[in-house]
């Protein structure tokens, strides 16, 4: 019996490894390999040729090999305040957009979690409905709404709130609206999933013991929904940092974000090594808070599981 159990466990392990092979191959080919290629370019020198960067290894006349990699691109971006401003602007924009998404997503996710039957299905459809249309068209629609003679200014003028049209388009405000609108579903869905998994008996027990509703929310609902909040924040913050389309369409020349700077370096200046160094530096800046958030989410999940089991 022991031998049969060991053989069964070994077979299960082999089956698990086989199932893990496709995602590992996908990860290696489509994520790790391009990342290593960008890292390799960041140590090269720009040149007027194809490809537009120098090799890292070069054979000399004596048959030896010279290692040409250097850190000049990283020194350059660290010494230029333009890139520092772009990094800070991108991080601040993504952070504020994430906070706005979190504030707006809470009542929406709570309403979906507490709805039943067809009402819940209808609310979920409304949340995912924007995904059925082109991302570019949805962002461009905000350009039409926010322009000087757009719908927003027309409504404000009709209500007498303003006397002259506001310069809403091509501003940080427009970029914030575009990012919040585009990524709000990525905050709502994980938060709804976390709320839907909660046991209603916990909140009901707290209410029966005389706890006011606001305190039930702060001490029961909010802590149990923390993993969903962290997951949604990551899904919003990470792509928002490197966003290019929204700042380009809604922010214009007034928008200084790292996505637009990368585009300019790659296709305007054709300085691929500097652009690659910018991308790697941005990756390192984002990875640290993301790792901390994931670790925090794991601790929260473990704590919630332990509390539930007790």
Question: Given a cut of 70, is residue 299 above it in pLDDT?
Answer: no
What are the tens digits of pLDDT across the range 92-144?
A: 999 999 999 999 999 999 999 999 889 999 999 999 998 898 899 999 999 99
* Residue 59 sits in the same domain as residue 88: no
DSSP secondary structure letters along 292-304: HHHHHHHHHHHHH
- pTM beyond 0.95: the answer is no
In a domain, 210, yes or no: yes
Same domain, 227 and 285: yes
Same domain, 253 and 294: yes
Per-residue pLDDT at 185 exceeds 90: yes
Range of lowest pLDDT (19-23, 63-67, 201-205, 282-286)? 63-67
What is the C-alpha to C-alpha distance for residues 161 and 56, in angstroms, rounded to an integer? 61
Q: How far apart are CA 212 and CA 216, in angstroms?
A: 6
Whether residues 288 and 222 share a domain: the answer is yes
Give pLDDT, residue 9.
55
- Per residue in 142-170, pLDDT (tens digit) is 999 999 889 999 999 999 898 899 999 99
Model confidence pLDDT, tens digit, residues 83-103: 999 999 999 999 999 999 999
10: pLDDT confidence band, cut at 50, 70 and 90? low
105: domain CATH number is 1.10.3720.10
**Domain carrying residue 48:** 20-70
Number of folded domains that form the chain:
2
Average pLDDT, the chain: 86
% of the chain with per-residue pLDDT over 90: 54
Claim to verify: residue 42 and residue 151 sit in the same structural domain? no
In the predicted model, is pLDDT for residue 295 greater than 80?
no
Judge if the upstream peptide bond of residue 21 is cis by omega within 30 degrees of 0: no
Of the residues 70, 98, 129, which one is the last residue of a structural domain? 70
Using 50, 70 and 90 to split pLDDT, how confident is the model at 300?
Answer: low
Domain match, 136 and 285 both: yes
């Amino acid at each position: 019996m022991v031998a049969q159990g060991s053989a069964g466990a070994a077979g299960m392990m082999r089956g698990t490894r086989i199932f893990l092979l496709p995602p590992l191959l996908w990860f290696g080919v489509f994520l790790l390999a391009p990342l290593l290629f960008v890292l390799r370019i960041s140590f090269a020198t720009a040149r007027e040729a194809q490809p537009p960067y120098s090799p890292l290894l070069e054979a000399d006349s004596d048959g030896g090999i010279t290692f040409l990699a250097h850190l000049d691109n990283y020194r350059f971006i660290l010494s230029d305040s333009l890139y520092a401003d772009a990094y800070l602007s991108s991080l601040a924009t993504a952070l504020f957009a994430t906070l706005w998404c979190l504030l707006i997503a809470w009542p929406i996710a709570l309403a979906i979690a507490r709805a039943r039957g067809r009402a819940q299905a209808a609310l979920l459809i409304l949340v995912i409905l924007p995904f059925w249309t082109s991302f570019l068209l949805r962002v461009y629609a905000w350009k039409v709404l926010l322009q000087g003679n757009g719908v927003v200014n027309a409504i404000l003028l009709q209500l007498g709130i303003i006397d002259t049209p506001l310069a809403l388009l091509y501003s940080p405000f427009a970029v914030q609206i575009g990012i919040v609108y585009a990524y709000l579903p990525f905050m709502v869905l994980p938060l709804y999933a976390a709320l839907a998994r909660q046991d209603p008996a916990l909140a009901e027990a707290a209410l029966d013991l005389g706890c006011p509703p606001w305190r039930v929310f702060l001490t029961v609902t909010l802590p149990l929904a923390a993993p969903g909040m962290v997951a949604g924040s990551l899904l919003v913050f990470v792509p928002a940092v490197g966003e290019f389309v929204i700042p380009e369409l809604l922010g214009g020349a007034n928008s200084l974000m790292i996505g637009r700077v990368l585009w300019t370096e790659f296709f305007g200046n054709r300085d691929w090594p500097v652009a690659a160094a910018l991308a790697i530096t941005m990756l390192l800046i984002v990875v640290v808070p993301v790792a901390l958030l994931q670790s925090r989410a794991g601790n929260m999940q473990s704590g919630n599981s332990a509390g539930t089991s007790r």
